[in-house]
């Protein structure tokens, strides 16, 4: 079998890249390890930057997000019972869009299917060969049969645990990592959101986030210990803890219900450099991870897709390699800025187990500065709505 671009991983990065390239007549094959139901069952991101919505429109999958996505003009930050608002639209001219990653993925699956695109689920033992030559290829096992796919380029969109990054020899890459000493316990419930905008809560008991998917679907998170397990947290223990971490009026008006999903995510900052090795390009979580505070993971995956799509388009349409040659440099310049923002916002909002009294006082001073200083709010808002591509 042959294609122009072999895409490993059928998460949002791989699907969006495939659909965008299809729009330019560039052929792709997407190889995904999991079933479609598994990919759609992973509850993850909920906040989209304008850049991602624009890419979805360009890919021909923008109708539903524009119709059903909820524009948010700002967000609330709280400390104890004190709350203040950061007005994204007033400060930057742009809102963000609340629309679940599951829905982005669902829209992309539908579009790929309608276009007759090749997307294989349940592929095992994927290996990349000859990425540092002009004739790369990918082999994989499907239904017990070993298969071989020749291609011009390989896009490694297979997430943090994928094989693409590890295909680059250790001597040719560098990794930068910070692991945080806590996780996020997330709950999805069919209840109305506690507030019309998201609430990022710093409390003496640790961080909490009140988010949503729609008028009757709420997403809440609380900072938890790394050794906690979701089954250790009953629904009522979760709701009690959430109430203790958010301002009193919200705690009192919170409507609770049975959780329909409960999971724990560890927090990590990670970047691998470079994001290209020969004809292999890393894209999204395969190349970098941010802690979720600030909602940057999916959005940063989208900015990689933007640079890679435009580089490949330039190559196929104009015979110009400049875009693919500069892919790693351009993508990393933006990646490091979102790494910085996610690290800063995580540091500002969480209780660290080894935090000294001094560090705690500095954290409170910084929250007060953000509350009262328009320049600080503008910098926060610019990062939150998304830095330009
Ligand atoms: P993935 O979604 O990880 O997709 C990679 C795909 O590759 C997967 O489907 C996987 O099955 C497949 N795969 C892996 N290995 C192989 C292999 N060997 N062969 C074939 N296929 C393989 N981001 C935000 O922007 N906003 C948020 O609000 C936000 N909230 C989050 C909340 C949580 C709890 C978590 C965990 C993450 C959150 N993120 C958020 C991050 C966001 O979900 C990720 O950045 C995003 O999924 C990255 O997309 P991707 O396609 O690059 O990787
Ligand atoms: C969500 C997750 C985030 O990490 C974030 O910063 C905002 C919202 C969410 O899942 O809704």
| pLDDT tens-digit map of 258-268 | 999 999 999 99
Residue 140 falls in the annotated catalytic set? no
Q: Evaluate: CB of 129 within 6 angstroms of ligand 1.
A: no
Residue 201 in tokens: 């809560």
Give the three-state DSSP class for 256: coil
Give me the residues of the chain with pLDDT under 70, please. none
Residue 260: partners with Cβ closer than 8 Å, 6 or more residues away = 188, 189, 190
Q: For position 387, what pLDDT does the model report?
A: 98
**Mutate which of 200, 292, 305, 309 to test ligand 1's pocket (most atoms within 8 Å of Cβ)?**
292
Atom of ligand 2 nearest to the CA of 184: 4
pLDDT in tens, 23-50: 999 999 999 999 999 999 888 899 999 9
CA dihedral (374, 375, 380, 384) in degrees, to 10, reads 90
Q: For position 43, what pLDDT does the model report?
A: 87
Nearest CA, atom 32, ligand 1: 44
Residue 200 falls in the annotated catalytic set? yes
pTM: 0.97
Residue 296 falls in the annotated catalytic set? yes
Give the three-state DSSP class for 178: strand
Cβ 220 vs Cβ 187: under 8 Å: yes
Q: For position 277, what pLDDT does the model report?
A: 98
């Amino acid at each position: 079998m042959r294609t122009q671009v072999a895409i490993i991983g059928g998460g949002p990065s791989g699907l969006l890249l495939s659909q965008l390239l299809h729009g330019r007549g560039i052929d792709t094959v997407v190889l995904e390890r999991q079933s479609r139901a598994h990919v759609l069952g992973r509850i993850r991101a909920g906040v989209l930057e304008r850049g991602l919505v624009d890419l979805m429109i360009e890919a021909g999958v923008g109708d539903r997000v524009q119709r059903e996505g909820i524009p948010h003009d700002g967000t609330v930050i709280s400390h104890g019972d004190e709350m203040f608002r950061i007005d994204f639209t007033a400060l930057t001219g742009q809102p963000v869009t609340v629309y679940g990653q599951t829905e982005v993925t669902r829209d992309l699956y539908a579009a790929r299917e309608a276009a007759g695109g090749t997307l294989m689920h349940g592929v095992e033992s994927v290996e990349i060969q000859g990425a540092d030559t002009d004739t790369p290829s990918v082999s994989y096992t499907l239904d017990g049969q070993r298969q071989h796919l020749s291609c011009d380029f390989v896009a490694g969109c297979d997430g943090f645990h994928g094989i693409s990054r590890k295909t680059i020899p250790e001597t040719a890459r560098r990794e930068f990592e910070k692991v945080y000493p806590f996780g996020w316990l997330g709950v999805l419930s069919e209840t109305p959101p506690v507030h019309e905008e998201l609430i990022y809560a710093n409390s003496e008991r640790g961080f909490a986030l009140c988010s949503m998917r729609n008028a009757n679907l709420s997403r809440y998170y609380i900072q938890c210990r790394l050794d906690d397990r979701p089954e250790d947290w009953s629904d009522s223990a979760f709701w009690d803890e959430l109430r203790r971490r958010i301002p009193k009026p919200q705690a009192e008006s919170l409507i609770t219900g049975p959780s329909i999903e409960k999971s724990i995510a560890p927090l990590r900052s990670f970047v691998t450099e470079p994001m290209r090795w020969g004809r292999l390009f890393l894209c999204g979580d395969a190349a970098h991870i941010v802690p979720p505070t600030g909602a940057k993971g999916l959005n940063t995956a989208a900015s990689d897709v933007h640079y890679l799509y435009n580089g490949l388009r330039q190559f196929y349409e104009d015979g110009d390699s400049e875009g693919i040659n500069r892919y790693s440099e351009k993508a990393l310049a933006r990646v490091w800025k979102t790494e910085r923002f996610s690290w800063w916002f995580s540091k500002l909002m969480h209780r660290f187990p080894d935090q000294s009294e001094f560090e705690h006082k500095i954290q409170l001073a910084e929250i007060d500065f953000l509350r009262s200083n328009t320049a600080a709010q503008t910098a926060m808002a610019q990062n939150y709505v998304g830095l330009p591509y």
